[in-house]
Amino acid sequence: MTIHTENPIIEVHDLTVSYNNKPVLWNVDFTLPAGEMIGIIGPNGAGKSTLLKSLMNLIPNNSGYIKLFNDDLDKVRHKISYVPQRESVDWDFPASVMDVALMGRYKPNNIFKRFTSEDKDIAAEALKRVNMLDYAKRQISQLSGGQQQRAFLARALAQQADLYLMDEPFAGVDAATEKTIVELFMSMKAEGKTILVVHHDLQSAADYFNWILLVNTRLVASGPTKEVFTPEMLRETYGGKLTVLTKVGEIIAETQFPIRES
Amino acid sequence: MTAFQNIVDFLSLKEANVRYVVLGTILLSVASSVIGCFALLRKRALIVDSISHSILPGVCIGFMVSGTKDPFFLLAGAMLTGWLSIYFIDIITRYSKIKADTAIGLNLSVFFAVGILLLTVIQNSGNPNQSGLSDFLFGKAATMVLADLYVFGGMALFVISGVALFYKQFVLLSFDLHFAKTIGLNIKFYEFILSILTVMAVAIGIQTVGVVLMAAMLITPAATARYWTDNLRKMLVIAAVIGALSGIVGAFISYSYENMPTGPWIVIVFSLIAMLSMIFSPKKGIVAKWMRQRRNSHKMMEDNILKAFYHLGEKEGDFHKKRTVEDLMGLRKFERNKLLNGLKWLSAENTIVHINNTYVLSKRGKATGARIVKIHRLWELYLKKYLRVADDHVHDDAETIEHIITPELEIQLEKLLDYPTEDQHNQKIPYSK
C-alpha cells in the first residue's frame, strides 16, 4: 500500500539497490511529504539503512531515480543533513566534541577558509540544543553512547539543513537520551524541518512518526501512520522475507547476472 | 678526533655538507611524520609498508633508464611503483575475494622481490655509477649533497604544505568518510591527493632512511604522538618533533661512522622514544596507570583504617581512646606491614596522632571515618531499595563503593534516600553537623 503525496520532498522511483550483486531493495517507489517526522521501519537486514544511503548516493543503484526537493542531489546537498550510524566512525579519533560539531560547518566552498566566529556560534548553539555544551572540550573517546549520538546530532544541527536523514539515532542510547532526542526532533519539526529516521522499535514508532515507510527488501507500505501502521501491514513486513524473491536474489548473486538488461 | 669533538663539529654545522644532511633529514622527517599521522588515523599503516617496499623496483628502473643516480629519475621511478602498489591493493580488494591484509602482503613481497632482482641485475651490469645504489635499502644520510637537498627537501616541503593546505579535507576523510561524501566533498580527488603525498613522503626517504624502514618513519612518530595528546593539531606537531629529533641523531651517526646506515639508527631512536612514551606519558602511560592504582590502594587503606577507628569508637562509645595495632587488627584483617604504613601516612596528615605505641583518632580523622561509614551504610540502603540486592550481598559492594563516592554523589544519595537515620542492621548513620 503506497500513499503518494503532492509536492513531495523526496521522490523515489523504481529504485533497486544491490550489494555484491545481490539485490537488497527491489523496485522501491514512494513519495514523502515535507515538514513531517517520518519513520523507516522494518526487521534487521530489511534494507532500511541501504535506503537512506542510496538517497545520499553513498551506494550506487541498479535502477530508478531519486529526486530531493524535486531536484538532483548535487544541486540541493546544502539543504540536506545525513547522520550515519554511530558505530560507523572510530570514536578514538583525536578530536573534541566541538571539533565534531564544527564539521557541520564544512562546505565544499569554504573548506579552505578558517572557521568564522559565526560558525563557532552556530556549532555552540547546536551543542546547547542537545545538552552537550558542557562537554564541548571533551575528547570524543570519553563519551558514552548517548553522548556520541548527541555529538553527531549537534553536527547535523550545525549544518542548518531542511531535510535530515538519520540512521538509527536511537540505537544503543539510554531512555533519557532517547527522550531528549525525540523532543529535539519534535522542535525541529515545529520549525518546518523534515526528519527521516531509520527506526526498529515498533512500540514507540506510532508515537514518534506521523508518516511511516514499512520496508523488508521491498516497500510494504508508505503513508500516514494511522493508515499504514496496521497489524495487517506489520504482519506483512515482519512475516519473513518473500521466499521466491529471496531465491531469485540468490540466483542473481550466484550467477553474477546483471540486475537490469542494459 | 674524539667523539665529543665529533658532536661539536656536527652540531655547529660548520661544514656545508653537514648542513645539507641535517636540513634534508629534518625536512624529510617532518614531512613523513606529519603525513604518517593521517595514515595512522585512516588505519593504513600496513599500506605504507607496502608502498615503502614497492619503491625499490622503481628506484632501480629509474637508474636503468637514466644510467645515473640522478635523484629526479630515481624519485620518478619510486613514485611510479609506489603508486602502483596502492592501485593494485585497491584493485585486488575490489575485484577479488582477497581481503586487504592479504592483498597488502602479496603486493609488498612481489614488488620487493622484483626490486631485489633488478638491483642484482644492475650490480652485475658493471655500470660504474651503480656503486652506492644498495644504500637505498637502509639509507645513508651522509651521502646527501646540495643537488639532493634541492630535490628531496623541495619535495618534503611540498608534502608539508599539502597537509597544511588540505588539513580540513584530510580530517573529514579520516574521521567520517560517508559524512564527507554527503556534504559534496570530492572524496576521490582528496583521497588521491592524500595517497600521492604519502607516496612522495615515502619516496623521499630512500636516500636518508632507505626503503625497507621508511614505513616506520611515517607510523612510529604518529603512534608515539598519539600517546601525548588527544588533539590532532598537537599530534601533528609532536610527531614532527619526534621525527626530526630521531632524524638528526641518525644523520649524526651516519656522518660520524663510515659505512653506518642511517635508517636503522633513526628507527631505533624513535622506537626508544615510543617505548618511553608508552611507559611515561601522562594518562595513557604505564607509570601513570600504576600511580593511579597505587593512589587508589593508598586511599582504600587509609579509609579502612579510619573506618576501623570509627567502628571501635562506636562500639565503646569513645572515639578518641588510644588504640594499639592489635586493637585494629582485632577488628579487621589488616596485613600488619600495610597497616603500619597506612598509620604512618595518616599520622603525617594529622588525621591520627601517634603517641608511643598507640594511636588516637583526631577530630578531623573522626569526621573522615564517620563519612566513610555513612556512605557505606547509605550505599547498602541504596542497593537494597533501588537494585533490589539481597541483604547478604550489599556489604561487599559497599566496601568498595565507599571509597569512590564524590561529595556531589554523597549529597544526591542522602536526598534520594531522604536522610535515613539507621541502616538495615539498625546501626546509626552518622551525619556531619
Please answer whether residues A158 and A104 qualify as being in contact, where contact means their C-beta atoms are separated by less than 8 angstroms. Answer: yes
What is the reported pLDDT for A168? Answer: 92
C-alpha cell at A23: 539485490
pLDDT, tens digit, 9 for 90 and up, residues A44-74? 888 999 999 999 999 988 889 999 999 999 9
pLDDT digits (tens, 9 = 90+) for A232-256: 888 888 886 667 777 777 787 777 7
Helix-strand-coil split of chain A, %, nearest 5: 40, 25, 35
- CATH code reported for the domain at B285-433: 1.10.10.10
- Mean per-residue pLDDT for B240-249? 91
Least confident of A189-193, B14-18, B416-420: B14-18
Task: Provide the pLDDT for residue B77.
Answer: 93
CB B172 to CB A139 under 8 A?
Answer: no
- Please state which of the four CATH numbers 3.40.50.720, 1.10.3470.10, 3.40.50.2020, 1.25.50.10 is assigned to the domain occupying B14-281: 1.10.3470.10
Which one has a higher pLDDT value, A111 or A80?
Answer: A80
How far is CA A182 from each of CA A176, A177, A203, B38, B144, rounded to the nearest angstrom? Answer: 10, 9, 14, 36, 64
Q: What pLDDT score was predicted for residue A262?
A: 65
Angle in degrees, CA A213, A219, A220, rounded to 5? 80
Please, which pLDDT band fits residue B433 given cuts at 50, 70 and 90? low
The ranges assigned to domains in chain A are 10-255
pLDDT at residue B371, as a whole number: 93
Nearest alpha carbon to residue B219 among B34, B5, B92, B375: B34
**Contact between chains at A141 and B230 (C-beta distance less than 8 A):** yes
Give dist(CA B432, CA B370) in Å, integer: 8
Chain B residues with a Cβ under 8 Å from any Cβ in chain A: 41, 43, 165, 168-169, 171-172, 174-176, 178-179, 181-186, 226, 229-232, 235
User: Does residue B1 surpass a pLDDT of 70?
Assistant: no
Cβ contact, residue pair B178, A112, below 8 Å: no
Q: Which residues of A47-86 are buried (b: 16+ CB within 10 A; e: fewer)?
A: bbbbbbbbbbbbeebbbbebbbbeeebeebbebbbbbbbb
Strand order, beta sheet including A63-68: A22-32, A10-19, A63-68
**A96/B184 Cβ within 8 A:** no
List the grid coordinates of A172.
Answer: 544503543
Q: Grid coordinates 537486514 are at which residue?
A: A45
Residue A107, min C-alpha distance to chain B (Å): 7
Between A and B, how many CB-CB pairs are < 8 A? 71
Per-residue confidence (pLDDT) for residue A104, from 0 to 100? 94
Q: Which chain B residues contact residue A99 at CB under 8 A?
A: 232
A75 touches chain B (CB under 8 A): no
Q: Which one of A57, A77, A141 has the shortest CB-CB distance to B183? A: A77
Phi–psi pair at A38, nearest 5 degrees? -120, 135
- What pLDDT, in 10s, does the model give residues B110-136? 999 999 999 989 888 877 777 777 777
A83-97, B135-149, B391-405: the lowest-pLDDT one? B135-149
Mean pLDDT of A122-131: 95
Tens-place pLDDT, residues B362-410: 999 999 999 999 999 999 999 988 888 888 888 888 888 999 888 888 8
Closest CA to B179 of A167, A36, A120: A167
A76 interfacial to chain B (CB closer than 8 Å): no
- Give the fold, CATH level 3, of A10-255: Rossmann fold (3.40.50)
Contact (CB<8Å) A58/B181: yes
**A213 phi/psi in degrees, rounded to 5:** -110, 125
% of chain B with per-residue pLDDT over 90: 46
In terms of Cα–Cα distance, which of B106, B117, B118 is closest to B50?
Answer: B106
- Of the ranges B68-77, B93-102, B175-184, which is most confident? B175-184
Q: Are strands A194-199 and A37-41 parallel, antiparallel or unpaired?
A: parallel
Portions of chain B given CATH number 1.10.10.10 = 285-433
Helix and strand numbers (H, E) in chain B are 20, 2
Residue ranges, comma separated, of all CATH 1.10.3470.10 domains in chain B are 14-281
Contact B34, B240 (CB under 8 A): yes
The per-residue pLDDT for A161 is: 95
